[in-house]
């Protein structure tokens, strides 16, 4: 037996608290298989899917978000963590959907704006929103104002979120907000914006309701908008 084998942690041998702690560590380290396994063990032990989501996955990603903000983790590591969370979410999503709890927080339409094909950050936000209990309608990339309007008509969301990675595409967020204003939608529909080149100053300038500086923060702010911050 190698040293590594001797050091291997058997997840099913851990008690609940140890397992949740270990899952947060595994999430931090981007360990897809381990996070999936831990999720399944907790479900098999009778844990409520929402509890698994909040205590193990969302809390783990919150820590990742803090260390990203503080410059301890970088984008590749955060993406690995997100990928690991995706493993757990894959097991929880059907259960949450079946129990009807997924829309308990609110409905959120999100998309990367027209001219922009970058979706990593946007998908990370979408996942954190799901983790926060939102029903997320993800419009994908290169989303035009008409597509946002159509999604608003179809889904009647509580919040709309726009993402951009490029300096050249971020002004399009202002175009969408202007159109919402013209149609008298803006006063009742909070618009959140985010993306690497954005800042609060830009969000204020285009009359966005809220600027989310990272995925974890965006999910927290979305809950605040819904009056469900913890």
Pair 212, 62: CB distance under 8 Å? no
CA-closest candidate to residue 126, choices 156, 85, 181, 182: 85
Toward other proteins, which CB reaches closer, 64 or 170?
A: 170
Structure tokens at 174: 């202002």
Toward other proteins, which CB reaches closer, 99 or 199?
A: 199
CB of 9 to other proteins, least distance (A): 22
Toward other proteins, which CB reaches closer, 62 or 118?
A: 118
Q: How far apart are CA 114 and CA 79, in angstroms?
A: 24
**Binding site residues, other proteins, CB under 8 A:** 30, 74-77, 79-80, 83, 115, 117-120, 141-142, 166-168, 170, 196-199, 202
CB of 76 to other proteins, least distance (A): 2
Toward other proteins, which CB reaches closer, 32 or 148?
A: 32
CB of 30 to other proteins, least distance (A): 7
Q: How far apart are CA 4 and CA 227, in angstroms?
A: 47
CA-closest candidate to residue 224, choices 192, 181, 177, 176: 192
CB of 25 to other proteins, least distance (A): 18
CA-closest candidate to residue 89, choices 47, 118, 128, 138: 128
Q: How far apart are CA 57 and CA 27, in angstroms?
A: 7
CB of 198 to other proteins, least distance (A): 6
Q: Which residues contact 16 (CB under 8 A, 6 or more apart)?
A: 42, 45, 47
Toward other proteins, which CB reaches closer, 66 or 196?
A: 196
């Amino acid at each position: 037996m190698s040293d590594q084998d001797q050091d291997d942690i058997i997840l099913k041998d851990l008690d609940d608290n140890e397992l949740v702690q270990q899952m947060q560590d595994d999430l931090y380290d981007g360990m897809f298989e381990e996070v999936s396994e831990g999720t399944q063990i907790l479900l098999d032990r009778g844990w409520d899917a929402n509890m698994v989501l909040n205590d193990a996955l969302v809390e783990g990603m919150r820590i990742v978000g803090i260390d990203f903000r503080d410059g301890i983790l970088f984008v590749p590591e955060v993406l690995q963590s997100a990928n690991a969370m995706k493993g757990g979410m894959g097991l929880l999503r059907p259960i949450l959907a079946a129990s009807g709890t997924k829309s308990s927080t609110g409905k959120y339409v999100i998309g990367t704006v027209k001219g922009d094909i970058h979706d990593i950050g946007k998908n990370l936000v979408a996942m954190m929103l799901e983790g926060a209990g939102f029903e997320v309608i993800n419009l994908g990339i290169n989303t035009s104002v008409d597509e946002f309007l159509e999604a608003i008509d179809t889904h009647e969301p509580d919040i709309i979120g726009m993402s951009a990675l490029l300096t050249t595409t971020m002004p399009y967020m202002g175009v969408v907000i202007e159109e919402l204003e013209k149609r008298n939608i803006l006063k009742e529909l909070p618009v959140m914006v985010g993306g690497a080149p954005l800042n609060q100053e830009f969000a204020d300038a285009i009359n966005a309701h809220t600027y989310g500086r990272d995925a974890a923060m965006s999910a927290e702010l979305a809950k605040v908008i819904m009056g469900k911050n913890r």
